[in-house]
Amino acid sequence: MAAKIILASASPFRKALLANAGIEFTAIPADVDERALEAPLEGTGATPEDVASILAEAKAINVSESRPGALVIGCDQTLSLGDRVFHKPRDKEDARRHLLDLSGKTHQLNSAVVLVRDGETLWRDVSIARLTMRKLDPAFIGRHLASVGDKALASVGAYQIEGEGIQLFEKIDGDYFTIVGLPLLPLLAKLRELGAIDG
- With beta carbons less than 8 A apart as the criterion, state whether 119 and 79 touch: no
The answer to whether residue 85 scores a pLDDT higher than 70 is yes
pLDDT of 9-38, one tens digit each?
Answer: 999 989 999 999 999 999 999 999 988 898
The answer to whether the Cα torsion of 184, 188, 194, 197 is positive or negative is positive
Q: What is the pLDDT of residues 106-145, one digit of tens each?
A: 999 999 999 999 999 999 999 999 999 999 999 999 999 9
The residues, any chain, with a CB within 8 Å of residue 37's CB and separated by 6 or more, are: 54, 55, 58
Q: What is the mean pLDDT of residues 77-90?
A: 91
Q: Does residue 3 surpass a pLDDT of 80?
A: no
pLDDT tops 70 at residue 70 = yes
Catalytic residue among 33, 76, 91, 198: 76
Would you call 76 a catalytic residue per the annotation? yes
| Domain covering 5-193 assigned CATH 1.10.150.120 in the classification | no
Closest CA to 145 of 103, 101, 109, 91: 91
From residue 133, alpha-carbon distances to 39, 86, 115 in Å are: 29, 15, 32
Sorted by sequence, the CB contacts under 8 Å of residue 149 that are 6+ apart come out as none
How far is 46 from 140, CA to CA, in rounded Å? Answer: 35
Q: How confident is the model at residue 102 (pLDDT cuts 50, 70, 90)?
A: very high
Residue 177 has pLDDT above 50, yes or no: yes
Give the pLDDT band (50/70/90) at residue 8. very high
In DSSP terms, 106 is beta-bridged to 132
Confidence of residue 2 (pLDDT cuts 50, 70, 90): low
Query: Can you give the residue ranges of every domain in the chain?
Result: 5-193
Give the pLDDT of residue 1: 43
